[in-house]
Amino acid sequence: MRLRQPDKGTILCVDDEPSVLSAIRRALKRRPYKVLLAEGGQQALDTMAQTRVHVIVSDMRMPGMDGPTLLKNVKELYPDTIRMVLTGHADVSTTMDAINSGEVFRFVTKPWTKEDLLSSLEQALAAYRLNEENVRLMALTAKQNEELRKLTDDLQHQVVEVETLRLRLGAVLDQMADALIVIDSAGHCVVINPVARRMLGLDRRPVEPTDDVASLALSVRPGQLLETLRTSDDGFLRLKVERNGRQFDALVTPAKDAHSDGTGAVIVLREVAAASPLGSGTDPIPLLRDLEAPLAAVILSLRHLDDPSLGPLSDSQQAVLQTALRNCNRLDGLFAGLAGAAISEQASAFCSDQGQP
């Protein structure tokens, strides 16, 4: 038993002569095609309305709807179908009409040979498959371009967000009252704010990654500092530092290195205010001034974050920012009130010592 080969395509043959249709059917009998027959143009269109046709082969001269008219309709209704003409008439004007109106792929003249017919049909089906593949590839390309456009838009949005965060972080660092230094796992400086630059005498030139800022700030080699930090029981270090006769408290905490598996460090240095005796107690005014300076920097930084030029904040972020500003302003007012009260108390004490009312 011979198994039937799968159809390689559907071919519709149109001719008003049944003998021609029978001859075509016999020629294609053992070929892997699905062959449909129609004896006129309207019958051919009715068939195509129900069945997908890859190649249509039409006679030129037929009663009713002739070949050029049929192929013109096929082109408009089913533009993907490959159109061929089967003719025994050497009518130049009719042939040109078919070419111009129906974009005919190939002419097969009567009498035709089986080999010529099969060769023309194979080429027509190959052209159909090529067009079909082109359409598929164009659709795939359009889809991939759309996906690429969305990815590009997302990436640009992320770049804008990162740049906005960078600007805001830079503004916070610039307004900090304390010196801030960040080093990576190799001891290289990756972040240093203006206060730290001035403290270390690096404000007149760009800071290079290889500048040994840890040694300048703490008089400790970076490797030793990171090892001491790694083995610290508390997970952080508190150090006393003296520079140019000024005392600083230093807090060193670990920081994940974004470019390696190691751990760097964040170094914060705050100047220690000198305390002056007041009777048996301590003068609170320097302490309050110590608190006012970083608080003022925090308030300024929070206000900078609300700058519209840096990008909009979400409703929740705006609510948190306004709450933080209100609380900081209350603290600022409290510090000012305490300082005023302390000054009044000192003035009263001074007047009492001088015997003045």
Average pLDDT along the chain: 79
Interhelix angle 114-175/284-305, nearest 10 degrees: 160
Residue 33 neighbours by CB under 8 Å, 6+ apart: 7, 8, 9, 10, 11, 121
Q: What is the pLDDT of residues 49-79, one digit of tens each?
A: 999 999 999 988 889 898 889 998 999 999 9
HSE-CB for 322 with a 13 A CA cutoff: 7
Q: What is the pLDDT of residues 127-166, one digit of tens each?
A: 999 998 999 999 999 999 999 898 888 888 887 877 777 7
Q: What CA–CA distance (Å, rounded) separates 70 from 68?
A: 5
CA 217 vs CA 31, 46, 53, 180, 221: distances in Å: 89, 91, 83, 10, 10
What structural domains does the chain harbor? 10-135 (3.40.50.2300), 178-272 (3.30.450.20)
Least confident range from 93-102, 199-208, 306-315: namely: 93-102
pLDDT at 39: 93
Residue 29 neighbours by CB under 8 Å, 6+ apart: none
Look at strands 246-256 and 237-243 and give their pairing. Answer: antiparallel
pLDDT at 83: 93
Q: What is the 3-state secondary structure (H, E, C) of 124-146?
A: HHHHHHHHHHHHHHHHHHHHHHH
Residue with tokens 């109106």: 101
Q: What CA–CA distance (Å, rounded) separates 173 from 171?
A: 5
Q: What is the pLDDT of residues 222-236, one digit of tens each?
A: 888 888 888 888 888
pLDDT > 90? residue 45 = yes
pLDDT at 102: 56
More confident site: 179 or 352: 179
Are the C-beta atoms of 343 and 278 separated by less than 8 Å?
Answer: no
pLDDT at 347: 56
**Cross-sheet strand order for the sheet of 237-243:** 189-192, 179-183, 263-271, 246-256, 237-243
Look at strands 263-271 and 246-256 and give their pairing. Answer: antiparallel
